[in-house]
Structure 1
Amino acid sequence: MNEINESHDTGSVREFTVSDADAGPYALAEGPDGALWFTLVHRGAVARRGPDDGLVTVHAVGDGPTVITAGPDGALWFTEYRAHRIGRLTPEGDYASFAPRTPGGGPFGITAGPDGAMWFTLSSADRVGRVTVDGEVTEYPAPGAFPSALTTGSDGALWCTLNQGNAVGRLTTDGHGTAYPLPTEGAGPVGIAAGPDGALWFTEIGAGRIGRITVDGAVTEYPLPDPAARPHAVTAGPDGALWFTEWGGGRVGRITVDGDITSYALSRTDCEPHGITAHDGALWCALETGSLARIEVRP
Structure 2
Amino acid sequence: MNTFSEKQGTGSVEEFTVSDADAGPYALAEGPDGALWFTLVHRGAVARRDPDDGRVTVHPVGEGPTVIVPGPDGALWFTEYRTHRIGRITPGGDYASFAPLTPGGGPFGITAGPDGAVWFTLSAADRIGRVTMDGEVTEYPAPGAFPSALTTGPDGALWCTLNQGDAVGRLTTDGHGTAYPLPAEGAAPVGIAAGPDGALWFTEIGAGRIGRITVGGDITEYPLSDPAARPHAVTAGPDGALWFTEWGSGRVGRITVDGDVTAYALSRPDSEPHGIAVHDGALWCALETGSLARIEVRS
Q: What TM-score do you get using the length of structure 1 for normalisation?
A: 0.96
- Say if 1:281 and 1:297, in contact at 8 Å, map to a contact too: no
Change (3 A) 1:11 1:203: closer
Q: Which residue of 1 aligns with 2:65?
A: 65
Q: Which residue of 1 aligns with 2:6?
A: none
Whether 1:294 and 2:294 are equivalent positions in the alignment is yes
Whether 1:265 and 2:265 are equivalent positions in the alignment is yes
Q: Which residue of 1 aligns with 2:7?
A: none
Q: Which residue of 2 aligns with 1:206?
A: 206
User: 1:89-100 maps to which residues of 2 (within 5 A)?
Assistant: 89-100=89-100
Q: Which residue identity lines up with residue 115 of structure 2 in the other structure? A: D
Whether 1:126 and 2:113 are equivalent positions in the alignment is no
Q: Which residue of 1 aligns with 2:178?
A: 178
Q: Which residue of 2 aligns with 1:55?
A: 55
Structure 1 stretches of at least 4 aligned residues deviating more than 4 Å after TM superposition: none
Q: Which residue identity lines up with residue 231 of structure 1 in the other structure? A: P
- Say if 1:239 and 1:297, in contact at 8 Å, map to a contact too: no
CA distance in 2 between partners of 1:60 and 1:247 (Å): 26
- Say if 1:112 and 1:118, in contact at 8 Å, map to a contact too: yes
User: 1:55-204 maps to which residues of 2 (within 5 A)?
Assistant: 55-204=55-204
Identical-pair percentage: 89
CA distance in 2 between partners of 1:106 and 1:30 (Å): 24
1:66-95 Cα shifts (integer Å, max 9, x gaps):
000000000000000000000000000000
CA distance in 2 between partners of 1:39 and 1:297 (Å): 25
- Say if 1:86 and 1:97, in contact at 8 Å, map to a contact too: yes
CA distance in 1 between partners of 2:111 and 2:259 (Å): 26
CA distance in 2 between partners of 1:61 and 1:251 (Å): 29
CA distance in 2 between partners of 1:108 and 1:285 (Å): 18
* 1:11 CA drift (Å): 6.2
CA distance in 1 between partners of 2:203 and 2:248 (Å): 13
3-state secondary structure, aligned to 1:226: coil
* 1:180 CA drift (Å): 0.2
Q: Which residue identity lines up with residue 132 of structure 2 in the other structure? A: T
- Say if 2:88 and 2:97, in contact at 8 Å, map to a contact too: yes
CA distance in 1 between partners of 2:298 and 2:147 (Å): 34
* 1:298 CA drift (Å): 2.4
Q: Which residue identity lines up with residue 112 of structure 2 in the other structure? A: A
Whether 1:31 and 2:31 are equivalent positions in the alignment is yes
**Runs of 5+ unmatched residues, structure 1:** 1-9
Q: Which residue identity lines up with residue 41 of structure 1 in the other structure? A: V
* 1:271 CA drift (Å): 0.4
Whether 1:278 and 2:274 are equivalent positions in the alignment is no
- Say if 1:86 and 1:98, in contact at 8 Å, map to a contact too: yes
3-state secondary structure, aligned to 1:295: strand
3-state secondary structure, aligned to 2:211: strand
Q: Which residue identity lines up with residue 152 of structure 1 in the other structure? A: T
3-state secondary structure, aligned to 1:164: helix
CA distance in 2 between partners of 1:131 and 1:187 (Å): 30
**Runs of 5+ unmatched residues, structure 2:** 1-9
- Say if 2:11 and 2:297, in contact at 8 Å, map to a contact too: no
- Say if 2:11 and 2:298, in contact at 8 Å, map to a contact too: no
CA distance in 2 between partners of 1:12 and 1:94 (Å): 35
* CA RMSD between the two structures: 0.7
- Say if 2:28 and 2:38, in contact at 8 Å, map to a contact too: yes
User: 1:224-263 maps to which residues of 2 (within 5 A)?
Assistant: 224-263=224-263
CA distance in 2 between partners of 1:18 and 1:279 (Å): 16
Q: Which residue identity lines up with residue 42 of structure 2 in the other structure? A: H
Q: Which residue identity lines up with residue 45 of structure 2 in the other structure? A: A
CA distance in 1 between partners of 2:294 and 2:134 (Å): 34
* 1:177 CA drift (Å): 0.1
1:255-298 Cα shifts (integer Å, max 9, x gaps):
00000000000000000000000110100000000000000022
CA distance in 1 between partners of 2:149 and 2:11 (Å): 31
- Say if 1:127 and 1:142, in contact at 8 Å, map to a contact too: yes
* 1:17 CA drift (Å): 0.0
Q: Which residue identity lines up with residue 62 of structure 1 in the other structure? A: G
CA distance in 2 between partners of 1:275 and 1:170 (Å): 22
CA distance in 1 between partners of 2:197 and 2:297 (Å): 19
- Say if 2:11 and 2:295, in contact at 8 Å, map to a contact too: no
Q: What TM-score do you get using the length of structure 2 for normalisation?
A: 0.96
